[in-house]
């Protein structure tokens, strides 16, 4: 089987509020994105790596690769205006049957074990996403009224989100809607049941400044 990793790095990082998009910020002296690519390059699956970056940041990325002597082979794909379109651009590039892991560039602490587990399960079941159970109590808030939910039924979804090529190709022919917050929601909308495997508490998404500080601490353990 052929394996691909689509690493989406086409966002602008508004919530991080830094001039440099968060995927390029230094984490332990190496840009976040290089940690992420390295995790996939170290996996047993040895996926072909497709890196999605906005056209205006591709020159900056090339300069970073020179500066850090970063030589892991990867194909650069143009980013889109939404994560959905960034993923779609990468899927459109793939022309062979394969299993595809889609991963946020800003989840640099993902382990090679989780990556390989995702590839193996998706090859067997068609799709699988990594998620962790909520350790906090959870509530909904609607019309100013809050209500408790059963936290045993609540999973916090991560990436990798891994799928057989044909499933992704079919799902990404749909028109974008704002309810598509991840790849699983896109695939579910065409009728597939999504499988969950245990993610990793360390596999945090760098979204706010505190997350970068946390990632630094986790890497130093
Ligand atoms: N048009 C987009 C938007 C997001 N992403 C990527 O999707 C991942 C998860 O998105 P998020 O954390 O929301 O990143 P940003 O969109 O950059 O952040 P923000 O929402 O705070 O602006 C990131 O690796 C981001 O680079 C992307 O490839 N293309
Ligand atoms: C894909 C994702 O990381 C799964 O948790 C998440 O949905 C991305 O959301 P964001 O708002 O684009 O960061």
3-state secondary structure of 88: helix
The protein residue whose alpha carbon is closest to atom 16 in ligand 1 is: 11
CATH number of the domain where residue 151 is located: 3.90.550.10
The protein residue whose alpha carbon is closest to atom 5 in ligand 1 is: 11
Query: CB atoms < 10 A from the CB of 150, how many?
Result: 9
Task: Select from 5, 21, 22, 83 the residue to mutate for testing ligand 1; criterion: most ligand atoms less than 8 Å from CB.
Answer: 83
Atom of ligand 1 nearest to the CA of 8: 28
Per-residue 3-state assignment (H helix, E strand, C coil) for 140-172: EEECCEEEECCHHHCEEEEEEEEEEHHHHHHHC
Give the number of whichever ligand sits closest to the CA of residue 105.
1
CB 49 within 8 A of CB 72: yes
Question: Can you give the pLDDT of all 221 residues of the chain as single tens digits?
Answer: 999 999 999 999 999 999 999 999 999 999 999 999 999 999 999 999 999 999 999 999 999 999 999 999 999 999 999 999 999 999 999 999 999 999 999 999 999 999 999 999 999 999 999 999 999 999 999 999 999 999 999 999 999 999 999 999 999 999 999 999 999 999 999 999 999 999 999 999 999 999 999 999 999 88
Measured at the CA of 170, the angle between CA 164 and CA 38, to 5 degrees, comes to: 40
Residue 159 beta carbon below 6 angstroms from any ligand 2 atom? yes
Torsion sign across C-alpha atoms 96, 102, 108, 110: negative
> Domain of 159?
3-220
Ligand 1 centre from 190 Cα, in Å?
23
Q: Which two tokens stand for residue 79?
A: 């980013």
The CA-to-CA distance between both ends of the chain, in Å, stands at 35
ipTM over 0.95: yes
**What is the number of structural domains in the chain?**
1
CB 162 within 8 A of CB 118: yes
CB 24 within 8 A of CB 32: yes
């Amino acid at each position: 089987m052929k394996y691909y990793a689509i690493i989406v790095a086409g966002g602008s990082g508004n919530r991080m509020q830094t001039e440099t998009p968060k995927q390029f910020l230094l984490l332990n002296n190496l840009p976040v994105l290089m940690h992420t690519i390295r995790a996939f390059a170290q996996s047993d699956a040895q996926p072909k790596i497709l890196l999605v970056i906005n056209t205006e940041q591709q020159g900056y990325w090339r300069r970073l690769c020179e500066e850090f002597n970063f030589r892991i082979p990867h194909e650069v794909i143009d980013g889109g205006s939404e994560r959905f379109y960034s993923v779609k651009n990468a899927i459109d590039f793939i022309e062979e049957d394969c299993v595809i892991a889609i991963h946020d560039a800003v989840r640099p602490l993902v382990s090679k074990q989780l990556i390989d587990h995702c590839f193996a399960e998706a090859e067997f079941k068609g799709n699988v996403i990594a998620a962790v159970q909520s350790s906090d109590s959870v509530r909904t808030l609607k019309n100013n009224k809050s209500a408790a939910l059963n936290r045993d039924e609540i999973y916090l979804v991560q990436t990798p989100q891994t799928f057989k090529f044909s499933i992704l190709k079919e799902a990404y022919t749909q028109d974008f809607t704002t309810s598509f917050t991840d790849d699983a929601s896109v695939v579910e909308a065409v009728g597939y049941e999504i499988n969950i495997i245990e993610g990793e508490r360390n596999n945090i998404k760098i979204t706010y400044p505190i997350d970068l500080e946390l990632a630094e601490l986790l890497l130093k353990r």
